[in-house]
Chain A
Amino acid sequence: MVKGYSDPAMEEKFQDRYFHTTDSNPEFLKDVEKLSRSIPHMCFQCGTCTGSCPSAPRSSYRIRKFVRRAVLGLEKEALTDPDLWLCTTCYSCTDRCPRDIAPTDVIMAMRNLAFKWDIVPRNFLKTIQLIYKTGHGVPNNDVNRAARLKLGLEAEPETTHKYPEYLPGIRKIMDHYHMKEIADRILSEGEH
């Protein structure tokens, strides 16, 4: 239910001005606010965020539009828009928002929700697989090992690379949220 006026006459007068659509899901705003730890409902659409955005001038990505979609509960429209993945998370919009919203974190929350719909670019899933396997999103390789030795460093850095006994703990954390399992499934489904 949309919050209304306490005066029934006012309520009737403005009733048709509320945004109603069959696509609208009011739970979406709540989910986004919880995950983002931010307050997109405070947005008055000034556009400072889009004006600060390095992705905006070179694409159709409009951060202001995504914040509006959160407020209006336009879940499907937001989560199925590929522009969702063009945010570089530079946080310029967050620093400059006059309403103290963190639009960047709104985008991050929407990406988390999109993942629950199996919507996520492949490169994100591959990073998950690499971290699960090696502990690193960008793992070591032979060229680098040789370079490290020349520098007087050990071939493997003091991380999970040198101490793979720490990997089961990392995998347990990821498995707790079934992250790798879901990533594997989405990637294999995409292959055929």
Chain B
Amino acid sequence: MHQYAFFLGCIAPNRYPGCEAAAIKTSEKLGIELLPLKGASCCPAPGAFGAVDLNVWYAMAARNIVLAEQMNKDIALICNGCYKSIYEVNERLKHDDELRDGVNEVLAEIDMEYKGSIDVYHLAEIYADKKVCGPDKIRESVVRPLDGTKVAVHYGCHLLKPIKERRFTDAENPMWMEELVAALGAEPVQYRNKMECCGAGGGVRGFDLAHSLDITNEKLTNINEAGADAITEVCPFCQLQFDRGQIEIGEKFGIEWHIPVLHYNELLGLAQGMSPQELALDLHAIDCKPFLDKIL
């Protein structure tokens, strides 16, 4: 069993709890145990919070990392925004003494010290890693193949970019998530401008909703053109933007989309035989039934 401290973030546990439940249960079947990271907070949001004061962003993210250091476990997480904050701050603090000293000065006020003793991973990246899991192991865990479905992959921005500050090698046309989707029996479809942003990040969703939805609408147009039955992503904030965004696009622009949006862990859960109730798919704004009808 590979063990990780499970960093939850905000939107997964507080808006799409099915993602949290699915991550724990599906990982277990893959030999990955996600342990509770007690007392963790918001990562904090790289766009909405980091934009105001980067110093506080570093210190708050470091506090979350220290909680995992105290457990002596690497962190696994399921949100790209969290990945940017937790992974990037961890890497920067490891390699920049001046920055680390500054952060530790603040953390000393709450009797904490950042040591740089653990690593941070996105759960999707762990799934893709053949040394820990890999697509073959995922394929073996499938009991209900998603045969006959077409799924569009949205990687999201902060998982891969800036590419120089990531373990990945390609942020222009990566294909490893398509392999993870194909392992479930679904057909991953390619679509125009695949790597475009969902539109939510950087505080733009809160600052100018119509602007952010216009970006989302462009992505939905391209995804629809490719004939996708569903969108999958690995970021609850992208999920929120695509899922609730479709309702908001209907209200604001009068354009109707009904494309189900599923976190990869929810998709994996379905393929491993979990029921829609066990995944709380009823909390999704866009009805997942058309997709479920194809596989159930």
List chain A positions with a Cβ less than 8 A from chain B.
Answer: 35, 54-55, 58-59, 85-92, 94-95, 102, 104, 108-109, 111-112, 115, 120-121, 123-128, 131, 135-141, 144, 147-148, 150-153, 157-163, 165-166, 168-170, 172-174, 176-177, 179, 183
B92 to chain A, nearest CB (A): 8
Q: How far is the CA of A121 from the CA of B197 in the complex (A)?
A: 21
A188 to chain B, nearest CB (A): 17
Q: Among B54, B110, B202, B280, point to the contact of A147 (Cβ < 8 A).
A: B280
Known: A137-B10, A139-B14. A91 touches B158 (CB 8 A): yes
For the complex, is B48 an interface residue (Cβ under 8 Å from A)? yes
Q: Among B17, B47, B48, B208, point to the contact of A151 (Cβ < 8 A).
A: B17
Q: How far is the CA of A111 from the CA of B46 in the complex (A)?
A: 12
Residue from A86, A91, A172 with most neighbouring chain B CB atoms (10 Å): A91
Number of interface residues of B (CB under 8 A): 68
Query: Which of B32-40, B128-136, B142-150 is near enough to bind chain A?
Result: B32-40
For the complex, is B118 an interface residue (Cβ under 8 Å from A)? no
Tell me whether A159 and B40 are in contact (CB under 8 A).
yes
Q: Of all chain B residues, which has the CB nearest A58? A: B214
Q: How far is the CA of A165 from the CA of B38 in the complex (A)?
A: 11
A66 to chain B, nearest CB (A): 13
Neighbouring A residues of B13 by C-beta, 8 Å: 140, 148, 157, 159, 161
Tell me whether A124 and B206 are in contact (CB under 8 A).
yes
Known: A144-B14, A159-B8. A112 touches B157 (CB 8 A): no
Q: Of all chain A residues, which has the CB nearest B48? A: A127
Q: Of all chain A residues, which has the CB nearest B279? A: A151
Tell me whether B14 and A111 are in contact (CB under 8 A).
no
B222 to chain A, nearest CB (A): 12
B210 to chain A, nearest CB (A): 9
For the complex, is B117 an interface residue (Cβ under 8 Å from A)? no
Tell me whether A120 and B204 are in contact (CB under 8 A).
no
Please provide the 4 A-B residue pairs with the shortest distance between their CB atoms, ordered closest to farther.
A123-B206, A157-B13, A91-B161, A166-B39
Neighbouring B residues of A168 by C-beta, 8 Å: 110
For the complex, is B200 an interface residue (Cβ under 8 Å from A)? yes
Neighbouring B residues of A159 by C-beta, 8 Å: 8, 13, 37-41
